Structure 1
Amino acid sequence: MAAAPARDGVGPRGFAEALERFGESAGRALSWLTLACVLVCFAVVVLRYVFDTGFIWMQELYVWLNAIVFTGCAGYALKHDKHVRVDIFYARLSRRGKARVDLAGAVLMVAPWAVLNAWLAWPWLASSWATAERSAMPDGMPALYLLKAMIIVMSTLLLVQGLALAMRSWNALRAGDDR
């Protein structure tokens, strides 16, 4: 039985599309921090080697920006199939076969990992937040707990994209499209 087409963004297909739009927007927005990371890194190099000065907080800032991009764009990478994949058989599968693999991966790997990761990180983040944790360096970045919060953000964005992938795969299997 073929799945009924979504009407005006309603139903499972519309919900999956809404989840993917959310992940796409988050990924695109956070990816701009890559430019900020490069500019801050460039400034650190110029200050150090041209002006013989530097700031610890600036050195930490570009590492933090890189971490924010990496964690914040994980769901975006999954959506665009740019994640690491050991592809031995997947490329040769039909659309239906790929949908089965994607559904199994989303349900059995992505979702449980994202939930477990957030669950295990939560006490660590709560402790960091409660103590207003900051960098261990004297002139380092304040509010280290904000960076640690990116673990929860990453888990959430991966879970959202994993749900969208599972729904898209389920819809493909129900539609019976086997090209």
Structure 2
Amino acid sequence: MDAILWIIQNIGLAFYNFGYAVTHPSLWLDWSDKQAIMRFVYYGGSIEFFFVVFTAFLVLTLVGFFYRPLLWRVVRLFEGIANTVGRFFAWAGLFMVIQQIVIVFMQRIFLSAEISLGFGRAFTFDVSWWGEELKFYNALVVCLCATYTFVQGGHVRVDLVYSAVSFRAKKIIDMIGSLIFMMPAAVLVWMYGWYFMWRHLIVPKPSASDSLERLLAKSRALRWNVETIGFSPNGFNGYFLFKVLLVTFTAMVFLQAIAFFYRSYLELVEGPFSENKDLDKDDLGDPDAKLVADIH
């Protein structure tokens, strides 16, 4: 009973917290103020922020139950974000291959210890730096193209039951999966990843167990201390970017979980004819259809 009252109380406070944050942006967005940075760090991984997001989801869902076009707009928006971001950063795979080829040529054929990139004032680093930086391209593809791949239906499925059940059962499974697996997993990774990221950006290092008052007290000694230490003496020194990607990946997964839940619900209610409605899937062309067209 106490847990239920606690949840209801936090849902009610979410409206106040959101309104206060919107009407007082300088308290957490004016980063010339060290306390504003610490407020941003605290609230980004706080219970208050969780309930603001959770309450917004509840309100949007309740309104959408009575006005389904709103949910379709949300689905198109979130799937559009996943597709746009994924299609752009998928090119990182090509750059990764090209850079690896350049590294091989420069190291094995030209026997160069450094690679310079740019015009005028060149961007020069040791070959080992460029070699380790390939991990960053791979991280871009994994983190920023995961939801794009999900929208496109490109993830590997281990299907033991799904294909054998009815259309309605599939949609119910999808709804339950998004609520029980995708959303909680995204929230859990966010809660850990948020402070993991900030611990590599500022000192004194914030902790998930710190209260707001404790973080505001730490802000007196706050300074930026971005992680620039590589695993090797001349290796890649931007590993803080991986922490930023982890948080970005989590946010995109959570948004896609919402979109998937809404799409599954809408297809369940509207029937099989609405399956894949407004789904922006890549069209690589049908070679058989093209061959028939050429013959005719």
Secondary structure of the structure 2 residue equivalent to 1:140: coil
**Residue deviations 1:97-149 (CA, integer Å, cap 9, x gap):** 22111111111101111111111111111011123112232222233212221
Q: Identify unmatched segments of 5+ residues in structure 1.
A: none
1:5-24 aligned at under 5 Å gives the runs 6=69, 11-24=70-83
Say whether 1:167 aligns with 2:262: yes
Distance 1:19 1:106 in 2: 14
Q: Identify unmatched segments of 5+ residues in structure 2.
A: 1-64, 114-126, 203-224, 276-296
Alignment match, 2:95: 36
Say whether 1:138 aligns with 2:233: yes
**Residue deviations 1:67-99 (CA, integer Å, cap 9, x gap):** 111111111122122223211121233332221
Say whether 1:92 aligns with 2:187: no
| Count of residues paired in the alignment | 174
1:1-179 aligned at under 5 Å gives the runs 6=69, 11-54=70-113, 55-130=127-202, 131-134=225-228, 135-177=230-272
Q: Which has the larger radius of gyration?
A: 2
TM-score by length of 1: 0.88
1:75–1:161: 8 Å Cα contact kept in structure 2?
yes
2:68–2:266: 8 Å Cα contact kept in structure 1?
no
2:171–2:267: 8 Å Cα contact kept in structure 1?
yes
Percentage of matched positions with identical amino acids: 25
2:147–2:252: 8 Å Cα contact kept in structure 1?
yes
TM-score by length of 2: 0.55
1:3–1:175: 8 Å Cα contact kept in structure 2?
no
* Higher strand proportion: 2
